[in-house]
Structure 1
Amino acid sequence: MINNLENYLDGEHKFPEELCNYESLLRLLGDRDVNSFTLITSTREPSIQGVEISQYELRGLEIDEWRKYFSGCENAENSEVLIEMHNAYGGNAEAMRILRFTITSRFNKNIEDYWQLHRNTLLANHSLRNLISIEISWLEANNSDAYKLFCRMGFYRYQDIQTVKFKGLICLLWELPEAKRVEVVDYLSRTSLVNVFQGKYYLHPSVQEAARLCLPSDTEIYRKVHQNIAQYWKSTISGESFFGNYINIFEAFYHYYTAENYQEAFQVFSEKINTDIYEKERYAYLRYWGYSQNVASCLEQLQDNIADEHKAQLTGTIGVCYYYNNSFKKAIDFLEKAEKLISSGQDYRTIRLHSTCHSYLARANRHLGYLSKAVENCELALSHLSKIDPSKETELNKEKFYKVRINSRILRSYASVHYDLGDYQKSLERSEQALECSRNMQEDNPLEHEIGDSLAYKALALFR
C-alpha cells in the first residue's frame, strides 16, 4: 500500500525526474506477470505511461458513521446540527476527527455550542483549514489558470441549485481562448477540490469558503465574476427554457444585484416571455406558481437603486406580489406609493399603469372589507383607462389587447364589490360587461380564464 502519492507528483500529475524510480516501481508492480495487488491513496490522479490504474473514489462517510463517532457528545444521535456539519464538510473522515477532538476538548462535548460559533466560519479551525489549504497551495503553484477558476467557482451559491454545468465554468475564464478554457476545466476537475457528478460541478461548503477567501480583493474582478455568473444563469431561462428552469431566475438576480447591476436585476424578472400563447412578465408566472413572497423580497432590495423611470413599475410589482401572497395591507402600502409615482410621471410607460394600479388597490381593499374604498378605486381605474393609447402600445410592442384586458379586470372587480354590497343587479351588469370585454379578446388570443372569471361572477349574482 502506498499512501498520499500526491506528495510526489508534479503539476502534470507525473513523477519529477528525480523520482522516476517510483514510476519504474509502479510499472513493475503493475506487470501482469507479477502476482500482486497495490493500493494507492492520492488526492490527485497519477498519470503514468504504460500503467493501468483503476480509480475508486473515496466518498465521505455517511451520517450514521458520524453519529457513531460523536456518540460521546451531547445529543449526537438526534442532532440536526450534526447533519449540518456533515453536509458542510462532505462527510470527510479527517474533518470528522478534527471536529470531535475540538468539540470534546474545548466545548465540553456540546455539538450545538461549537456549531453556533462556527456555522458561518467553516474554516476558523486551523486544522480544518490546513486540510484544504495544502491542496489549494499545490494548485496555485502548478496551474495558475485552474487556481483562478477554482477561486471564481466559490462565488456560485450551491444552495437551491447545488451544481453548475460546464458552461457555468468556462464563462469564468473570459481571458482565455475557448480551447484553453476546456483544458483548464478538465485539469481542475481532476483535483480533489472540485466534485463532478454526471457532468455537473460543485464545491462542498467548506471548500467554497476557502475558494472565496483566495480570490484577490479586486473590485472590478469581483463584479466581473458576478456579472458573468448572472449572465450564465440568465441564459438558462431564455425563451421557453424558463418553464423548466424558472428557479434559476433567483440565482441570476442575486448575482446581478451583487454586481450592482440593478437594472438587469430588475429586467431578469420583468422581461416578457411566451409571446405566442400568453405573453406575461416572468414575475407574473412566478406569482402564479406560488413564488410571490420570493419575488417581492428580491425586488424590495432594488427600491433605492433603480432608475426613476422604472420605480413606479417596480413598486407596483412588489404590491401586486404581496396581493397574491394575501398580504393585503402590505399590498396597499406599495400600490399607493406606486400610484403617487405614476401620478407624478411624464413618460407614457409609467402613465399607462394608472388603471392597473387602481384595479389592484380595489381588489386589496375589497379583501380587507373596505368596500367604499374599493368602489372609489374601481371608478378611478375606469377613468384612467383613457390614458392607455392603443397606437402607443403598438409602438412600444406591448400587448395588443392590454386596454381591453385591464377594462375586463376592473369590471370584474366592480362586480365582486357590488356583490359584497348586496347590489346583485349591478353585479350582474358589470359581469356581463366584463364578459363582453373578454370575448373581444378572443379574436386575437384565447384567454380562457378571463371568460371563466366573468362567468363565475355572473353566476354568483344570478343564484342570489
Structure 2
Amino acid sequence: MEEWLKQDFNQEPSQDFGVALGRLKRQLNHRYIGILIDNFEPLLEQKGCLISLHRNYLELLRILADANVQSVTLITSRDRLCEPDLNIAHYRLPQLSIEAWQVFLENQVTLDISTLTQIHWSYGGNAKAMRIVCGLIKEDYGGKMTAYWQENQQNLLVTTALKNLVISQIERLKILDPLAYRLLIRLSCYRYQDIPNVPVKGIFCLLWDVSDEQHFSVIRSLRNRSLIEFEEGKYWLHPLIQSEGIFRLRQSKYWKKANRQAALFWTNSVETIETIQDAIQGLEAYYHYLEIEEFDQAARVILQSRNNQWGQFLPLGSTFYRLGLLQPILITINQVIPHIKSEHNLSELYNILGDLSWITGEIHQAFTYQEKTIYLATQALQKLPDSSVDHQKLYYLKMLNIDALLSMGLYKIDLWELEEAALLFEQVIKEADQTKHHAWSQKASLCLGLVKSYLGEVEPAQILADEAYDFIGEQVPGRLAYFLQILGQTYVNLGKVERGHQILSEALEYAQKNHYIQVEAKTLKGLAEIAHLQNCFEVALEQHLQGICLLEEIGATCDLAEAYWQLSLTYQAMNNPGKSKHNYQLAVQYFTQMQAPKQVEKLSSFLRNSRGKMNK
C-alpha cells in the first residue's frame, strides 16, 4: 500500500496503517483505478477467512469494497474468500472454449482439430494447462500437436509445472481440511466418461465416515477451492485433479471401499430401464468392480435383471443389445468372463454372449456359447441340494437350458438349416409345454410356424401362426416385439399380406417408440417385402435402405446379409441389374463371412433360376 501511495498517487506514505488507509480511500473516492490482487489463497485459512497474521488485509479490502470509491478491484484466488463483513461479488471463471484454444494455438503450433478437441476435453479447457501444453509442443515436439498427444495422452500431468500446480493445491487441502481431502481422492474413482457427472447422492455415498450434518460443508469446502466442478446439482472432477486423485486413492486404504460404494450407488440409482441413458448408468457399477478385480460382482452387474421399457424383466446385458448397444456389452462380457468361476453366472453370461455373437455374424461361435450355457446350467442343476431346493434358482437354470435351445433354433434359421431349426423348436415345445416355462413353448411354436412357412408346409404353418396370433394379442404390448415381427413375416410367407402388414406395422410403431433398433430394422425389411409384392418399389426401396442403415449402425451382420439380399431382389424387380448385382454380392459376402453355405446356395439357386427364365 505504501508503494501505491508513493508511486501511483504521489502521496507521502505513513507508518501508521490507519492513516495510510485513509489517504488511499481519499484517492480512490475521486479517481477511476483498476486494482489487481493476484493469487490471494495463501492468506486464507480453512474456512476462507484471512489468517490472523494478515488480518490487516481485511481493513484494506473494506476500503476497496466501499460503495463510495471509484475503483474496481479484482482478486484472483483458488480458494473462495468468505469474510462475512466484506461486500464482494464472486465470479467463477469458466473453462475456455475450444475456439479460444484454437485462436491461442493456431499461430504457434501445427493444429489438428481432432487432436485439439481431445486435448481440450482432457484438460477441461483450463487456461493454465493451455499455456503449458503449448510451450511443451513447441519446445519438445517441433510444434507438432499430434506427435505430442500420441505420446502423452495417457499422462496428463506430463510436465513438472502442471504436476506441481495440481499437487500444491491438493497438498494445501490435505493440511487445511483432511475431510475434504479424503472426499476429493475418493471422488476420483468415478470415471466421468459415459456418465460425465455425478449427482449429490453419489458424493454422499463416499462420505461413509462423516456425519450427515457435515456432508454439505465438506462438499462446500471443495467447491470453495475450485477443486470440484459443479452445475445444476451435478458434480465432476477436472481431469488433471482426477489424475492425481486416483493415484493417491490407489495408494490409500480407501481404494476398494470407495469403488464398492460407488458401484452400489450406480446399481441402486437405476430401478427400471426406460432409456439408453438408464442402461449406461446401470453398467457404471461394472467398471468399479473391474477396477478392484471383484469379477463376480462385475458379472452380477451385467446379469442383474430389471423391468425395461418393453414390459420385460431382463438382465442388463440382454437389455443392452436390444437397445442396439452391442459392442459395449460384448467388450464387458469378454473382459470379465475368463475370471468367473460360478457355473450359474457363467451359464447366464454365455447365454447373452451367444445372442450377441449371433447378431454380429459370429453365428458358429454363438452355437458354442449356447452349448456351454446348457452344459454349465445342467452342472449347476445337478449340484443343487435335494433337501433345501432354491426354487427361484431351479427355475432360472432350467429356463437357461430351454432359452439356449430356442436361441439355437433361431440361429439355424439364419443359416437356412431349416429342418434342424424345426427339431430344436420341437424340443423346446416338448420340454416347456404346460410347465412354468410355458412361455418358451409358445415362442418356439411361433418360430416353428415361420420355419414351416419357409419349407412350404402351408397348413401346419397356418395353424401355428393363428395360435400365435391369439396368444400374442394377450401379452403386454412390446414384450414380445421380436416375435411379433417373426409372426408378421410368417403371414407374409403364407400370402396373408394384409394381416402380415398389420402385425409388422404394430411391431414397427412399438420398436420406433421404444428404441428397439434390431426389431425396427427387421420390421422395415418385412414391410419392404410387402411393398415389393404390391409393386410399390420406391416405398420398398426406401424401407430397405432405412433398415440397412439401422443394422449397420448397430453392427448386426447376420440381419444385414438377408437385408442386402432382399434389396437386391427389389432392384431386380425395378430393372436395375447393376445395383441388384452389387447388393447380391454384398449378401453373398456376408453369408460367406457367417459360414452359411446353405444361404449362399439359396441365393445362387435363385439367380440361376432367374437367368433360366430370362433365357426361355
Residue 192 of structure 1 is matched in structure 2 by: 226
Contact 2:422–2:451 (CA<8 Å) still a contact in 1?
yes
Once the two structures are TM-superposed, the CA of residue 216 in structure 1 deviates from its matched residue by: 5.2
**How far 1:260 sits from its partner (Å)?**
3.8
Separation (CA, whole Å) in 2 of partners of 1:352 and 1:66: 57
Residues 29-65 of structure 1: per-residue CA shift (max 9 Å, x gap): 1122333221111111112231111112222222222
| Contact 1:355–1:382 (CA under 8 A) maintained in structure 2 | no
- 1:256 paired with 2:308, answer no
Question: What's the counterpart of residue 7 of structure 1?
Answer: 42
* Cα deviations by residue, 1:272-295 (Å, 9 ceiling, x for unpaired): 333998341143433322123322
Q: State whether structure 2 residue 254 is matched by structure 1 residue 221.
A: yes
Q: Which moved more, 1:244-253 or 1:222-231?
A: 244-253
Structure-2 residue corresponding to 1:399: none
Query: Equivalent residue of 2:147, what SS?
Result: helix
Residue-by-residue CA offset, 1:152-191 (whole Å, 9 max, x unaligned): 1111101111111111111111111111222111111111
Q: Which amino acid aligns with 1:356?
A: D
1:269-323 alpha-carbon deviations (Å, 9 max, x no partner): 4333339983411434333221233223223333232512332122112212333
Q: Which of 493, 497, 522 pairs up with 1:460?
A: 493
Residues 341-372 of structure 1 show CA distances to partners (whole Å, capped at 9, x for unaligned) of: 23444253323322211111111121122333
Does the alignment pair 1:158 with 2:192?
yes
Q: Report whether the alignment pairs 1:247 with 2:294.
A: no
CA distance in 2, matches of 1:372, 1:453: 18
| Unmatched 5+ stretches in structure 1 | 391-402
Cα separation, partners in 2 of 1:356 and 1:282, compared to 1, 3 Å: closer
Aligned to 1:371: 418
User: Residue in 2 aligned with 1:311?
Assistant: 346
Deviation at 1:385, TM superposition (A): 2.2
Alpha-carbon shift at residue 6 of structure 1 (Å) = 0.9
Instruction: Tell me: CA distance 1:285–1:13, structure 2 relative to 1, closer, same or farther (3 Å).
Output: same
Tell me the TM-score normalised to structure 1 length: 0.88
1:169 aligns with 2:203: yes
Is 1:405–1:438's contact at 8 Å kept on the other side of the alignment? no
- Report Cα offsets for 1:232-289 as digits up to 9, x if no partner: 1112102477786332012122123334444443333433333998341143433322
Q: How far off is 1:412 after superposition?
A: 2.1
More off after superposition, 220-229 vs 295-304: 295-304
Asked if residue 55 in structure 1 is aligned to residue 90 in structure 2, the reply is: yes
Aligned partners of 1:60 and 1:92 also within 8 Å: yes
The counterpart of 1:46, out of the listed 81, 105, 123, is 81
Q: Indicate conservation of the 8 Å contact 2:115/2:146, yes or no.
A: yes
Instruction: Give the drift of 1:455.
Output: 5.3
Partner of 1:395: none
Q: Give the Cα separation in 2 of the matches to 1:446 and 1:155.
A: 38
Give yes or no for the alignment of 1:179 onto 2:179: no
Q: Deviations over 1:205-254 (max 9, x none)?
A: 22210111222524x62111111001111121024777863320121221
SS of alignment partner, residue 302 of structure 1: helix
Does 376-385 or 43-52 show the bigger shift?
A: 376-385
Matched length: 447
The residue identity in structure 2 corresponding to 1:103 is I
The farther-off stretch of 372-381 and 118-127 is 372-381
The aligned counterpart of 1:331 is 366
Partner residue of 1:274 out of 294, 307, 310: 307
Match of 1:287 in 2: 321
Does the Cα contact within 8 Å between 2:109 and 2:138 map onto a contact in 1? no
The equivalent residue for 1:419 is 453
Matched, 1:408 2:408: no
Whether the 8 Å CA contact 2:186–2:254 is kept in 1: the answer is no
The aligned residue for residue 322 of structure 1 is 357
**Aligned AA for 1:320?**
D
Partner residue, 2:584: none
For 1:254 and 1:338, how far apart are their aligned partners in 2? 25
2:148 paired residue number: 114
8 Å CA contact 2:273, 2:279 repeated in 1: no
| Letter in structure 1 aligned against 2:244 | A
Closer, same or farther: CA 447–124 of 1 in aligned 2, 3 Å: closer
Cα distance in 1, alignment partners of residues 96 and 354 from structure 2: 48
Q: 1:237 aligned to 270, 288, 294, which one?
A: 270
Distance 2:293 2:143 in 1: 44
Q: Which moved more, 1:371-380 or 1:180-189?
A: 371-380
Q: Give the root-mean-square deviation of aligned CA atoms.
A: 2.7
- TM-score normalised by L of structure 2: 0.67
CA drift of 1:384 comes to 2.7
> 1:437 Cα deviation (Å)?
4.6
- Partner-residue secondary structure (3-state), 1:172: coil
2:402 pairs with 1:355: yes
Deviation track 1:63-83 (CA, whole Å, cap 9, x = no partner) reads 22222222245541x431112
Change in Cα spacing, 1:302 to 1:91, as seen in structure 2 (3 Å) is: closer
2:175 paired residue number: 141
Give the 3 Å change call, closer, same or farther, for CA 354–184 of structure 1 in structure 2: same
* DSSP-derived class of the 1:228 partner: helix
Q: Is this contact kept in 2: 1:405–1:437, CA < 8 A?
A: no
For 1:423-438, what aligned pairs fall within 5 Å after superposition?
423-438=457-472
Match of 1:298 in 2: 332
Structure 1, 4-13 or 422-431: larger mean CA deviation: 422-431
SS at match of 2:251: coil
State the alpha-carbon separation in 1 of the partners of residues 362 and 85 from structure 2.
69
Q: In 2, are the aligned partners of 1:435 and 1:455 still within 8 Å (CA)?
A: no
1:354–1:436 distance in 2 versus 1, CA, 3 Å? farther
3-state DSSP of counterpart to 2:106: coil
> Kindly tell me: are residues 404 and 451 of structure 1, through their superposed partners in 2, closer, same or farther at Cα, counting changes over 3 Å?
farther
Q: Report the counterpart of residue 430 of structure 2 in structure 1.
A: 383
2:531 aligned partner: none
- Return the index of the structure with the highest Cα Rg: 2
Using the alignment, how far apart are the partners of 1:357 and 1:216 within structure 2? 41
Distance change >3 Å, CA 91–CA 446, structure 1 → 2:
closer
| Pick aligned residue for 1:32 from 67, 78, 83 | 67
Picking from 244, 253, 262, the partner of 1:210 is 244
Q: What is residue 99 of structure 2 aligned with on the other side?
A: 64
Q: Distance in 1 between matches of 2:449 and 2:287?
A: 41
Equivalent pair of 2:289/2:297 in contact (CA under 8 Å): yes
Kept after mapping to 2: 8 A contact 1:354/1:384? no
Q: Secondary structure at the match of 1:38?
A: strand
More helix by share: 2
C-alpha distance in structure 1 between counterparts of 2:84 and 2:400, whole Å: 70
Q: Which moved more, 1:42-51 or 1:422-431?
A: 422-431
Deviates more, 1:317-326 or 1:42-51: 317-326
Contact persistence 1:404–1:437 (CA under 8 A): no
Closer/same/farther in 2, CA of residues 255 and 336 from structure 1, 3 Å limit: same
Residue 235 to residue 89, structure 1, CA distance change in 2 (3 Å): same
The alpha-carbon distance between structure 1 residues 15 and 451, as it changes in their structure 2 partners (threshold 3 A), is closer
Deviations 1:370-415 (A, max 9, x none): 33332332233233326x843xxxxxxxxxxxx2321121112222
